Amino acid sequence: MSKVPHFVYTARPTTRVRLKGLFEAGLLKEVLEKPQVLRANGWTMETQQEARIVKGEYLEIVLGDWKTIQLYEDGMLLAKVKADADFLAWGSRGDEGFEKHPRLNPLALIEFTYSFVDVFSRVLEHAEPQHIDCVLQVNIQHAIRVSGPLYLNPYGLETWAHKLDETRHTAPEDSAEIAVQMTAASIRANASRAAYQFVEKIYLWFGVPVDRIPYTMGAGDEKVIDVETLRRGGKQA
């Protein structure tokens, strides 16, 4: 059987940075252990676990075999999550199982991406220096399954179009490295806008037109992740 698909998120400064107080009890450690949670049981960076120091190089939280989070003193944040029915493709099991219908869950994908960017925005508050550029990147691994590639249905969970599952945008390759560059100041100022720009790159890799990305609001340079809709679990007000 093919290997389990994963999304490996990284966010890092492009110049030399040091995080103040990474290896001591305090606000920075709490950013990792107690991320902002929009709702109970969402797809977020939350683990309810304590971070441990690994080799004096980084903090790490491991939750089962489906979520690993690391934060390095040079400012790099990493989150590795499964892209199968245990996490980013949750709900795709059906009667035939994930491998027959390897559909990513749009709410899971967008909510987790937002949560990751939000945590990084809070990490940046502890960086020295402050005026830096950053790269947000996701590495997609093992996207080609036995029955076909991972795919996105470009609709929200509550829509009939999503349930009918007739429109499918498939992964073009087995792996990918998708990145977007922006300033630390812009990430800190508007995490929902930075997260949208990141999500847009992911959806474009799957071939989804930008006007079909769910859980967003606004237009042009003002387009952002619709955080309030995420807070309602994807349901419209």
Lowest mean pLDDT among 164-168, 187-191, 196-200: 164-168
Determine the pLDDT at residue 93.
52
Stretch 162-175: mean pLDDT: 94
Quickly state the pLDDT bin for 236 (edges 50, 70, 90): confident
Q: Is residue 227's pLDDT more than 90?
A: yes
Quickly state the pLDDT bin for 74 (edges 50, 70, 90): very high
Q: Is residue 2's pLDDT more than 70?
A: no
Q: Is residue 182's pLDDT more than 60?
A: yes
Summary mean pLDDT of the chain: 94
The more confident residue out of 2 and 233 is: 233
Residues of the chain above pLDDT 70, percent? 97
Q: Is residue 1's pLDDT more than 60?
A: no
Pairing of strands 133-141, 176-183: antiparallel
Question: Token pair of 34, please?
Answer: 């107690």
Determine the pLDDT at residue 101.
86
- Record the pTM: 0.96
Q: By CB neighbour count within 10 A (0-12 exposed, 13-18 middle, 19+ buried), where does 64 fall?
A: exposed
CB 203 within 8 A of CB 210: yes
Stretch 46-58: mean pLDDT: 95
Quickly state the pLDDT bin for 92 (edges 50, 70, 90): low
pLDDT tens-digit map of 93-143: 555 678 888 999 999 999 999 999 999 999 999 999 888 999 999 999 999
Closest CA to 104 of 116, 81, 93, 88: 88
What is the full DSSP assignment across 53-107?
Answer: EETTTEEEEEETTTEEEEEETTS-EEEEEE-STTTTTTT--TTT-TTTS-BPPHH
Stretch 67-90: mean pLDDT: 96
